[in-house]
Amino acid sequence: MRWFVLRRLALAPLVLLGMTCITFFVSQLIPIDPVAAYLGGRGAAQSDAAEQAIIDALNARWGWDKPIPERYWIYLTNLLQGDMGESSHSARAVSTDLANVLPPTIELVVAALVVALVFGIPLGVFAAARRGGVWDALFKVVSTLAISVPVFWLAIVGFMVFYGRLGWAAGPGQLDIFTRPPPEVTGMVTVDSILAGRWDALFDTLHHLAFPALVLGLVIGFYFARVVRSEMVDALESDYVRTARGKGLRRRLVLYRHAFRNAVIPVITLSGLAFGSLLTGIIVVERVVGWPGLGQYAFTAATRLDLNALSGVVLVISLAYVLANLTVDLLYTVADPRVRDGMRS
Partner 1 sequence: MTAGRLRRLEEAVAPTRFATTMESLRPRTFLEFYGVGVIVVMVTAIAAAPLIAPDPFAQDLPSALAGSSADHWLGTDNLGRDLWSRILYGGRVSVVIGVFVLLTAGAVGVLYGAVSGYAGGMVDAVMMRIVDIFLSFPSIMLALLISAALGPTIRNVIIAIAAAWWPVYARLIRGQVIVVKEREFVTASRALGAGPMRNLLWTVLPNSFGVMKTIFVLDIGYAILAGSTLGFLGLGVSAPTPEWGYMIREALQYPTHWWFILSPGLALLLFVSAINFAGGIVTRSVHEDPGR
Cβ(151)–Cβ(281) under 8 Å? yes
Cβ(182)–Cβ(190) under 8 Å? no
- Closer Cβ to partner 1, 27 or 269, answer by number: 27
Q: Is 89 in the site for partner 1 (CB under 8 A)?
A: no
Q: Is 145 in the site for partner 1 (CB under 8 A)?
A: yes
Q: Is 299 in the site for partner 1 (CB under 8 A)?
A: yes
Q: Is 190 in the site for partner 1 (CB under 8 A)?
A: no
Q: Is 15 in the site for partner 1 (CB under 8 A)?
A: yes
* Residue 107 to residue 276: CA distance in whole angstroms: 16
Q: Is 141 in the site for partner 1 (CB under 8 A)?
A: yes
Long-range contacts of 327-330 (CB under 8 A, 24+ apart): 327/272, 328/268, 328/269, 328/271, 328/272, 329/4, 329/5, 329/8, 329/269, 329/272, 330/5, 330/8
Q: Is 322 in the site for partner 1 (CB under 8 A)?
A: yes
DSSP for 97-127 reads: HHHHHHHHHHHHHHHHHHHHHHHHHHHHHHH
Q: Is 269 in the site for partner 1 (CB under 8 A)?
A: no
- Closer Cβ to partner 1, 172 or 337, answer by number: 172
Which of 269, 277, 327, 333 is the binder for partner 1 (CB under 8 A)? 277
- Closer Cβ to partner 1, 255 or 283, answer by number: 283
Cβ(335)–Cβ(268) under 8 Å? yes
DSSP state of 162: I
Q: Is 167 in the site for partner 1 (CB under 8 A)?
A: no
- Closer Cβ to partner 1, 202 or 309, answer by number: 309
The helix (H) or strand (E) run that includes residue 242 is helix 239-246
Residues sharing a CB contact under 8 Å with residue 128, sequence separation 6 or more, in sequence order? 136, 228, 229, 230, 232, 233, 236, 259, 263
Which of 280, 328, 331, 335 is the binder for partner 1 (CB under 8 A)? 280
Q: What share of the chain is helix, strand, coil (3-state, %, to 5)?
A: 75, 0, 20
Q: How far is the CB of 310 from partner 1 (least distance, A)?
A: 6
Stretch that binds partner 1, among 179-187, 188-196, 212-220, 314-322 (CB under 8 A): 314-322
Q: Is 30 in the site for partner 1 (CB under 8 A)?
A: yes
Q: Is 201 in the site for partner 1 (CB under 8 A)?
A: no
DSSP state of 193: H
Residues forming the site for partner 1 (CB under 8 A): 11, 14-16, 18-19, 21-23, 26-27, 29-30, 140-141, 144-145, 147-150, 152-154, 156-157, 160, 164, 276-277, 279-280, 283-284, 288, 298-299, 302-303, 305, 307, 310-311, 313-314, 317-318, 321-322, 325
